[in-house]
């Protein structure tokens, strides 16, 4: 990963955790980063245009209301309810010591603006809080769609918060717009896959098919128990249910499609080369290959595991991913095509201040291709475009702060030149075959 260069770093006064970094995707296409530490500090990071026309990295602390002194932030998440304007909702879970006893009080704070606004103002959002008191210690907080069908028509597709807790259960919170409150709903009504687990659920990942007719859900428990389910959203029924157990603590599970919709070259009958775009369909004489859905499980001590094509094989077709050493703790992962070759790589962060790059090589399988040293244990990874230049950056949450790594410009020029050559000068041997 030598083509990644340090672009920016900002310090965090106190440590965060694997749940305390999320992104804010604005309606204009720009992305901001929201990072929290355990001791109440929340920072918003973005790139802003300077008077000279250059991009300037900017970090500012945001004062969210109803986070009292002595409270600790456990997790946060955010989403934009609108695709045309900025209607953000930010969720923050906190715990604090009770004034009357040694017990802990826990809350889910939900922040939003009262009205839609084209201008994004996070300070205003931070002042409008709805409190949900919790009777359990919160863990992973995420958002997903609540989908409801009537006949063959999708009549409801709205965002909900999903929160796992120390009570071994998953809780779903839905907005009641008329009352302007968030209330917990019964999982059986919309999320039948969330039943009581054998131990607290550490991580949850939810993946919808493009038409929202089916949902794939996976979650990992503190005891090493893994579950993978597919739900028919029209019937609100579990189609299949697979589970397995690992012998150690699981830090993350991630579902990902093997292909994002960009296929290889295909050929028309006259021999002309045509590249199929993301929203196009293959020509009629080409055979369409269904997309495979994979699942990555990050073990803290044992090697990580990837389950291939889970829709067809469940949890039976798997491979063990190599690791650098046997002493570090694996904490997080990100799956993305970071070298622009059309195939996704797996990035895994660990406690040994490293990011491991795993790449799939034909005839060899998954191989450890590279290591990137970071000046602190790695807690989180995100691959997104925070600079707004059209090229994604690798954002690394460390124990002491946040690193923003950018692709080297000369590397990008070489990649672009190679891709243009392939588009304008196709391989004649490949056409013949």
pLDDT band at 96 (very low <50, low <70, confident <90, very high): very high
Q: Which of 321, 333, 314 is nearest to 365 (CA)?
A: 321
3-state secondary structure (DSSP) of residue 101: coil
User: Is pLDDT of 424 > 80?
Assistant: no
Longest Cα pair distance anywhere in the chain, in angstroms? 80
Per-residue pLDDT at 82 = 86
Q: Give the per-residue pLDDT at 260.
A: 64
Closest CA to 203 of 320, 333, 316: 333
Render pLDDT for 189-228 as a digit per residue (tens, 0 to 9). 899 999 999 999 999 999 998 789 999 999 999 999 999 9
User: Model confidence at 430, in pLDDT bands (50, 70, 90)?
Assistant: low
Per-residue pLDDT at 432 exceeds 80:
no
Which has the minimum average pLDDT: 51-55, 294-298, 372-376? 51-55
Spell out the domain ranges in the chain.
260-433
What pLDDT sits at residue 151? 85
Residue 265 scores a pLDDT above 60? no
DSSP 429: H
Rg (CA), the chain: 22
Cα–Cα distance, 360 to 252 (Å, whole number): 20
Query: Can you tell me which residue has the tokens 């595991």?
Result: 305
State mean pLDDT over 136-159.
Answer: 93
Check pLDDT > 90 for residue 24.
yes
How far is Cα 231 from Cα 193, in angstroms, rounded to an integer?
A: 7
pTM of the model: 0.89
What are the pLDDT digits (tens) for 313-368? 999 999 999 988 888 999 999 999 999 998 999 999 999 999 999 999 988 999 99
């Amino acid at each position: 990963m030598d083509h990644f260069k340090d672009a920016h770093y900002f310090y965090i006064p106190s440590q965060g955790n694997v749940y305390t970094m999320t992104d804010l995707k604005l309606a204009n296409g720009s992305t901001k980063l929201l990072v929290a530490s355990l001791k109440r500090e929340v920072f918003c990071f973005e790139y802003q245009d300077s008077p000279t026309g250059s991009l300037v990295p900017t970090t500012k602390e945001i004062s969210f209301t109803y986070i009292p002194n002595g409270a600790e932030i456990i997790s946060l998440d955010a989403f934009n309810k609108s695709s045309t304007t900025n209607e953000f909702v930010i969720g923050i879970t906190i715990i604090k010591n009770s004034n009357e006893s040694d017990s802990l009080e826990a809350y889910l704070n939900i922040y939003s603006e009262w009205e839609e606004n084209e201008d994004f103002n996070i300070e205003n959002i931070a002042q409008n809080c709805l409190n949900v008191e919790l009777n359990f210690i919160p863990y992973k907080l995420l958002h997903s769609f609540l989908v409801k069908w009537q006949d063959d028509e999708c009549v409801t597709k709205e965002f909900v918060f999903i929160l796992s807790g120390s009570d071994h259960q998953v809780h779903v919170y839905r907005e009641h717009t008329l009352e302007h409150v968030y209330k917990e709903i019964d999982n059986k009504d919309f999320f039948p896959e969330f039943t009581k687990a054998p131990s607290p659920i550490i991580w949850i990942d939810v993946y919808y098919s493009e038409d929202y007719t089916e949902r794939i859900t996976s979650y990992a428990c503190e005891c090493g128990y893994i579950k993978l389910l597919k739900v028919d959203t029209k019937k609100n029924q579990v189609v299949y249910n697979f589970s397995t157990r690992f012998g150690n603590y699981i830090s993350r599970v991630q579902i990902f499609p093997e292909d994002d919709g960009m296929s290889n070259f295909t050929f028309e009958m006259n021999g002309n080369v045509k590249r199929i775009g993301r929203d196009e369909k293959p020509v009629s004489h080409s055979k369409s290959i269904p997309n495979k859905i994979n699942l990555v499980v990050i073990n803290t001590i044992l090697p990580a595991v990837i389950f291939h094509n889970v829709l067809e094989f469940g949890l039976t077709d798997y491979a063990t991913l190599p690791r650098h050493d046997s002493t570090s703790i694996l904490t997080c992962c990100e799956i993305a095509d970071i070298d622009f070759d059309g195939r996704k790589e797996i990035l895994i962060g660990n406690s040994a201040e490293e990011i491991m790059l795993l790449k799939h090589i034909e005839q060899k399988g998954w191989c450890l291709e590279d290591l990137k040293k970071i000046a602190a244990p790695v807690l989180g990874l995100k691959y997104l475009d925070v600079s707004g230049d059209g090229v994604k950056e690798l954002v690394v949450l460390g124990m002491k702060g946040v690193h923003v790594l950018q692709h080297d410009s000369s590397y990008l020029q070489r990649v672009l030149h190679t891709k243009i050559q392939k588009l304008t000068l196709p391989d004649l041997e490949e056409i013949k075959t």
